[in-house]
């Protein structure tokens, strides 16, 4: 509040614009909203009696949210059972100046494109972009409180190669991979069927060159968006759900940063898209 003219008693009172919440207050609101909708606090130091000291997929303190406001969250102690290919586990880290998902890039609290995501968290819901990754499976979302810390991009961790490729030094190179051809074909078929095509609208074929050496070709409507290509890749290669990657064009090489664009708007009709790990 401000006062114009005279003393505080005789002056005209002017109400200024609402004060923007600080990042600390914003994070507090997110945790408060999640807790009010059934999220369960996890003690960072708590351990069960039979728990060993070997590394866990997630061992931080935070809240686990349900998929909807009606579904109360629950914390399961001890070892997690291996998830099916459709289950997704994500750690949401709330930093001083923004938030990140797993080991991904920092996303600003002030960016309007993140508003819906944060509103979903505040209401105790798993955001739609994470539910789409699961394609009907379970989404386990944990929240970590790092509001007093500046975001630091995690260092790249060496991961053993798990994709496909050719064995060199042989007259007849062999295709190598950890998933069977039958399983891979099944995943690709499911991914293709998840893309809803409106036959009354224009269609285009997109060729996708994957980082694991594979190649996918999929039909899309001109009105499909670049993010639909990303979801298609994750469905076809479930192991990539937790992998950070970007999509790029060829000739010239250009990163597709606005994934809300339609394929027509991005001039990607009958294009070749390249997946690059980051």
Is position 196 within any domain? Answer: yes
**Per-residue confidence in pLDDT tens, the chain, 278 aa:** 555 555 555 555 555 555 667 778 888 888 887 777 666 666 554 444 444 444 444 444 455 555 555 554 444 444 444 444 456 788 889 998 899 888 888 888 888 888 888 888 888 788 877 777 766 667 788 888 888 899 887 776 555 555 555 545 444 333 334 567 788 888 899 999 999 999 999 999 999 999 888 899 999 999 999 999 999 999 999 988 888 999 999 878 899 999 999 999 999 999 999 999 98
State how many domains the chain has.
2
Range of the domain at 148: 22-38+84-153
**Is the domain of 188 the same as that of 139?**
no
Is position 159 within any domain? Answer: no
**Is the domain of 197 the same as that of 263?**
yes
Quote the pTM value: 0.41
**CATH code: domain of residue 226:** 3.10.20.90
**Is the domain of 27 the same as that of 144?**
yes
**Three state DSSP letters for the chain:** CEEECCCCCCCEEECCCCCCCCHHHHHHHHHHHHHHCCCEECCCCCCCCCCCCCCCCCCCCEEEECCCCCCCCCCCCCCCCCCCCCCEEEEEEEECCEEEECCCCCEECCCHHHHHHHHHHHCCCCCHHHHHHHCCCCEEEEEEEECCCCCCCCCCCCCCCCCCEECCCCCCCCEECCCCHHHHHHHHHHHHHHCCCCCCCCEEEEEEECCCCCEEEEEEECCCEHHHHHHHHHHHCHHHHHCCEEEEECCCCEECCCCCCECCCCCCCCCEEEEEEC
**Is the domain of 33 the same as that of 120?**
yes
Q: Of 153, 172, 198, which closes a domain?
A: 153
**CATH code: domain of residue 96:** 3.30.420.210
């Amino acid at each position: 509040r401000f006062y114009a003219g005279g003393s505080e008693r005789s002056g005209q009172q002017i109400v200024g614009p609402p004060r923007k919440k600080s990042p600390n207050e914003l994070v507090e609101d997110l945790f408060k909203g999640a807790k009010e909708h059934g999220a369960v606090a996890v003690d960072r130091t708590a351990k069960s009696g039979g728990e060993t000291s070997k590394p866990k997929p997630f061992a931080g303190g935070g809240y686990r949210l349900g998929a909807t406001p009606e579904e109360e969250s629950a914390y399961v102690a001890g070892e997690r059972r291996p998830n099916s290919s459709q289950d997704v586990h994500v750690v949401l880290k709330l930093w001083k100046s923004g938030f990140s998902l797993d080991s991904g890039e920092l996303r600003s609290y002030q960016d309007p494109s993140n508003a819906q995501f944060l509103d979903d968290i505040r209401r105790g819901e798993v955001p739609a972009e994470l539910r789409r990754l699961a394609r009907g499976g379970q989404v386990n979302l944990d929240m970590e409180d790092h509001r007093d810390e500046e975001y630091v991009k995690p260092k790249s961790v060496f991961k053993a190669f798990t994709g496909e490729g050719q064995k060199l030094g042989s007259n007849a190179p062999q295709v190598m991979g950890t998933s069977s051809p039958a399983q891979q074909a099944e995943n690709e078929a499911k991914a293709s069927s998840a893309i809803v095509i409106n036959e009354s609208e224009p269609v285009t074929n997109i060729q996708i060159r994957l980082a694991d050496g594979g190649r996918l070709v999929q039909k899309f409507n001109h009105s499909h968006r670049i993010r639909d290509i990303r979801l298609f890749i994750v469905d076809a290669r479930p192991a990539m759900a937790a992998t950070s990657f970007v999509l790029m064009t060829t000739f010239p090489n250009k990163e597709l940063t606005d994934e809300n664009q339609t394929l027509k708007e991005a001039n990607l009709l009958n294009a070749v898209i390249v997946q690059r790990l980051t």
